[in-house]
Structure 1
C-alpha cells in the first residue's frame, strides 16, 4: 500500500468536464496543487451514497478553506457513471473521477476483490496529496467506514 511521503503512481484517469470527456494523467491532475482525494468501492452504493460522498459535499467549503485546491472523488467505475452520481448527489464542488480499469487503484495497493458484487474495486480511503505527494492517508480495512470520512480528513488538515 502507498505510504505517506510517497509520490502517486502514474496512471490515466477519466472524468466528464461539462460535456467533454477528459483523460488526465495523475501527474496533470495533482501537479502544483493540494488535493483532498477520497475513494469509494462504487458509485450509487449504500454507504458511498448515504455517508461517504455526502460528507465531502457537506464539508467541501471547510476543506477548501484549509488550503485545499480541489476535492476529488474516485471510484472504479466509468466516467459517465461518476458524472451521473455527482449530479444526483449535488457534488458540484467535487471532481468525480473514474479509474475504469482499476490501474491507479491497483498501483496504490488499495484494491480489493469484491467477487460477484463487482469484481476489483477500490478500498475506501481518503488522502491529502500535495503536488503529487501523499501527506495524509486514511485507508479502511475491507469495506469499513471509520477513518476515511470527510470529518477525519478535515481534522488532519
Structure 2
C-alpha cells in the first residue's frame, strides 16, 4: 500500500470532459500542484452519492482557500459513468477521474474485491498529494465513512 512520502505511480487515465475524451497522466494531474484525491467504491452508490462526493462539492471553495489546486474523485468505473455521475451531482469543480480497469488502484495497493457487488473496486480513502507525493492519507475502515469526508480532510490540512 502506498504510504506517506511516496510518489504516486505513473499512470494514464481516461477523463471525459465537455470537450470530449482526454488521457491525462499522473504527472499532468499532480506535478507542481497540491491536490486532494478521494476515492470511492463506486459511482452512484449510496454513501458515495449521498455524502462523499457532495461533501467535496460543498467544501471545494474552502479547500481552495487552504491552497488546494484541484480536487479529484477517483473510482474504478469508466469515464462515461464518472462524467454522468459528476454531472448529476453538480460537481463541475471536481475532476471525475476514471480508473476503468483498476490498474492505478492496484498500483496504490488500495483496492478490494467485492465479489458479486461489483468485482474489483477501490477502498474509500482521501489523500493530500503535493507535487506527486502523498503527504497525508486517510484510509477508511471497511464500511466506514469518517476520516475521508470533505469535512475531515478540510480540518486536517
Contact 1:123 1:143 in 2 (8 A): no
User: Match of 2:51, SS?
Assistant: helix
Aligned to 2:4: 4
Aligned to 1:13: 13
| Distance across 1 between alignment mates of 2:136 and 2:69 | 15
- How does the TM-score come out when normalised to structure 2? 0.97
Runs of 4+ in 1 over 2 A off after TM superposition: none
Aligned to 1:118: 118
Offset at 1:87? Answer: 0.5
| Distance across 2 between alignment mates of 1:54 and 1:43 | 12
- How does the TM-score come out when normalised to structure 1? 0.97
| Distance across 2 between alignment mates of 1:62 and 1:154 | 8
| Distance across 1 between alignment mates of 2:120 and 2:47 | 18
| Distance across 1 between alignment mates of 2:143 and 2:119 | 14
Q: Structure 1's 11 and 143: CA in aligned 2 closer, same or farther, altered over 3 A?
A: farther
Offset at 1:140? Answer: 1.0
Asked if residue 35 in structure 1 is aligned to residue 35 in structure 2, the reply is yes
Q: What whole-Å deviation, never above 9, does each CA across 1:108-148 have from its counterpart, x for those lacking one?
A: 11000010011000000001100100011001122321211
Contact 1:112 1:142 in 2 (8 A): no
Let me know the Cα RMSD of the aligned residues.
0.8
Q: How does 1:41-80 map to 2 (within 5 A)?
A: 41-80=41-80
More displaced stretch, 7-16 vs 42-51: 7-16
Uncovered stretches (5+) of structure 2, i.e. residues with no partner: none
Uncovered stretches (5+) of structure 1, i.e. residues with no partner: none
Aligned to 1:156: 156
Residues matched between the structures, number: 157
